[in-house]
Structure formats: structure tokens, C-alpha cells
Copies of this chain bind each other. A is one copy, B any other.
Amino acid sequence: MDPFLAACRGLPHERTPVWFMRQAGRSLPEYRSIRGTGSILDAIADPGLAAEITLQPVRRYDTDAAILFSDIVVPVHAIGFGVDVVPGVGPVIERPFERTADLDRLRPLDPEADTPYVLETVRALASELTVPLIGFAGAPFTVASYLIEGGPSRTYARTKALMLGDPNLWFALLDRLVDLAVASLRSQVDAGAGALQLFDSWAGALAPPVYERYVLPASRSVFDRIADLGVPGIHFGVGTGEILHLMAAAGSDVLGVDWRVPLDEARRRIGPDTVLQGNLDPAVCLAPIEAVDTAVGDVLRRNGDHPGYVFNLGHGVLPETDPAVLEHVVDLVHAHRPGG
């Protein structure tokens, strides 16, 4: 059985699978040479380019999965909410979400009509790849935080003020974003994606009772509504130690853990059968190779012989990462036999 898919199911497999969040992108010279200077949203809308960018790291690193070159704001951009992705900044929203009337700016996504380029990219990749393709979407909370804050935030203050201050509007917003995520994820699987990751990157900014009440139901709804697709679902966020048990309750097959929670501690907390993905600190990859060896060894040791584990970083590859270091990490992980 394919090692990545087997690990996602907690089933025995031959080698510990590995892929890296943001494995496609700025850290690769071959990416920089073909990427051009336009918006990333333009690159995503070019299926030939997006497919090639998706393939680059698989070729170079021999990763056990590919992840679609796309962005979590693609669906809201595609339905005309008014989003750009500014280099060095991130998503920027022309007119942030503020009031009930803004709900009308979030119409349902028709993937074939609104994001045909995504589906064309996925189809091309599905026929070319020999490893599974991971499709993805932004989780309702994380996408909502961009729409409300107008861009990246350190505090999520407006988002929290809206959820606490106007719960009806908050839940109505999340309902729309659940629909968008589900439509996008289902269409990616229809087109050939073999696994799905829900990025709730910033959920760790929330107090556990707040996450449980205002966010978890929406994320659970996404996983419920993709469960019939038969592909593994991965649930990811950073700084999520305090809400890990709640994120686990959303119903994914695999739970992402950043570097703050050691793998053995995560399983102690959530349950011994939990399938995990992560958890090397991306910053470690900027340190000398001996430090990388030690850190990778520590992650693998803490996983022990548990078959339910996918090696990854705890967050995306940093742009200044030397690809040779990631090549070395892949070699180390592949040399490690699960169960041995």
C-alpha cells in the first residue's frame, strides 16, 4: 500500500512517509526561475505553471505526497470577495467583512465555473503523479480571520470581537465558509486529489472554550461533509497544544502538530491510536546539519514504531531554507523503518 495513505490510516507500511508544507515555493531555485513576478493568484490560475510548481519538490525531494500549488483564499477570491495576495505580506482584503450585508458577498462556489483552473491542475497532476496529491482548503475560522482583519494579524482582535459580540453573524459567516471549503474540497477529490488537508493555521490564537464554542462546530461540519469521499482528511494548525483534543474531535483522520508538542506527548494527550503529522520546527532547517540530524532523530524517536505518522514540518518551509537540507531530511526519514 502507498506509504502516505497507509500512514494516514494508521496501517503498516514500508517507509515513513514525508512531505513538507510549502514544499513548492520560494525556497526552490527552480520555482523562482519559472514563477514570474505576477500575483500568486495569477500563477495558481495557470494550470500548466501550477502543475509544474506542484511537481518540482516531488522530483527534487522524492516526497511521498504532493500538495497542490494553490492558496486558501482562492475560493473567496474566485467568488469575487476582493482578495489579493501581496508578496511578503499575505492575503489582503479590499473591503473587509464587517456586517450582515457582507454575507451577500459570499455566494456559493461552483468549482467547475469559478475555479476551472484548479480542477484542470488537479486533473493534470493526478495523471502524472506517482504519489498521492493532497488537495486543501482554509478552515472557516482562519479564512474568516483574513476576511475580518483585512489581512494577516497578530492578535485576531476584530475576529474575536465579532464572534463574541455578534454570534449570529459569526455563525452565519462560518456557514458560508463551510460551504465554500466543502465545495472546493469535494471538487478537488472529484478531479483526482487523494487526500485533503484543512488549514486552520491560526486557531491556536483562541482560548479552548472559545475554540470549542465558536470554531469547532464549523470545522467538524467540513470533515463530516467530506467523510463519504473516502480520502484521508488532515487537520492542521500551529500553536494548538491547548486545543489539540478539541481539534481531534473535529473528525479528521490525521492531526497536524507543530513543534511545541512532542509527538509522544500529543498521543498521551489525545489517545495512543492518534495518527499525527509534523512536527519538526521549520527553523531547525536553517541550523547546521548536525542540529538537523539531532532534531529529526528526536521526532522519529518520539514517534517510536507507531504506524500512524507522516513526517512533516510543524509549519511551512521557510523561504530561506536550503533545499539540500530538506533533501537530507527526506533521506533520514526514509532510512527510518516504521516499526523497526
Contacts and interface: CB of A to CB of B under 8 A. Distances in A.
A207 B161 contact: no
A323 interface: no
Contacts of A161: 283-284, 286-287
A239 interface: yes
Interface of A: 155-161, 164-165, 204, 206-210, 239, 241-243, 259-262, 265, 281-284, 286-288, 291, 295, 298, 318, 320
B286 A318 contact: no
Choose among A156, A206, A281 the residue with the greatest number of B CB atoms under 10 Å from its CB. Answer: A281
Chain A interface SS verdict (over half)? helix
Given A207-B281, A208-B260, 17 more contacts: A155-B282, A157-B283, A157-B286, A157-B320, A160-B283, A160-B286, A160-B287, A161-B284, A164-B288, A164-B295, A165-B291, A204-B239, A206-B260, A207-B260, A209-B298, A239-B260, A241-B241
Nearest to A295: B164
A291 B164 contact: yes
Nearest to A260: B242
Contact of A164 (B204, B243, B284): B284
Contacts of A165: 287-288, 291
Contacts of A209: 262, 298
Contacts of A155: 282-283, 318
Contacts of A287: 160-161, 164-165
Contacts of A318: 155, 157
